[in-house]
């Protein structure tokens, strides 16, 4: 019995190999952004006397919250989240007197 090589009738199709390089940006967590903003605010403002009511610091903080919420609220979902957070903060402010 002879062994013969079988020649295929179809042409040899060489495979084309391509490579793609994809850059993946690190995912920025919401908590990291907030932590950075809190650090910046603490560096800017320091309360000299904690037992003296300084409404200027409170008013400045409220203004910063307004500015930040306008930047963040780009869609209905984000606006609703900011609303819920601010409602919760308002409840805490009302309870601060007790």
* Contacts (Cβ under 8 Å, ≥6 apart) of 37: 68
Q: What domain count does the chain have? A: 1
Asked if residue 22 belongs to a domain, the reply is: no
Per-residue confidence at 58, pLDDT binned at 50, 70, 90? Answer: confident
> Does 60 fall in a domain?
yes
Instruction: Examine residue 44 and state whether it is found in any structural domain, yes or no.
Output: no
> DSSP letter string over 8-59?
PSSPP-PPP--------PPPPPHHHHHHHHHHHHHHH---S-TTS--HHHHH
Is 14 among the domain residues? no
10 within a domain of the structure (yes/no): no
Instruction: Of 47, 48, 90, 43, give the one whose Cα is nearest residue 65.
Output: 90
Establish if 6 belongs to a structural domain. no
Other C-beta atoms lying within 10 Å of the C-beta of residue 53: 8
pLDDT per residue as tens digits for the range 2-53: 666 666 555 555 666 667 676 776 666 666 677 777 777 767 666 566 666 7
- 45 occurs within a structural domain: no
pLDDT for the residue 4: 63
Range of the domain at 61: 50-98
């Amino acid at each position: 019995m002879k062994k013969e090589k079988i020649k295929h009738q179809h042409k040899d199709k060489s495979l084309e190999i391509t490579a793609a390089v994809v850059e993946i940006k690190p995912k920025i967590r919401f908590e990291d952004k907030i932590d950075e903003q809190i650090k910046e605010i603490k560096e800017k403002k320091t309360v000299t006397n904690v037992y003296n009511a300084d409404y200027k610091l409170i008013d400045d903080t409220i203004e910063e919250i307004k500015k930040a919420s306008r930047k963040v609220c780009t869609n209905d979902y984000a606006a609703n989240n900011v609303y819920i957070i601010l409602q919760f903060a308002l409840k805490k402010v009302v309870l601060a007197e007790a």
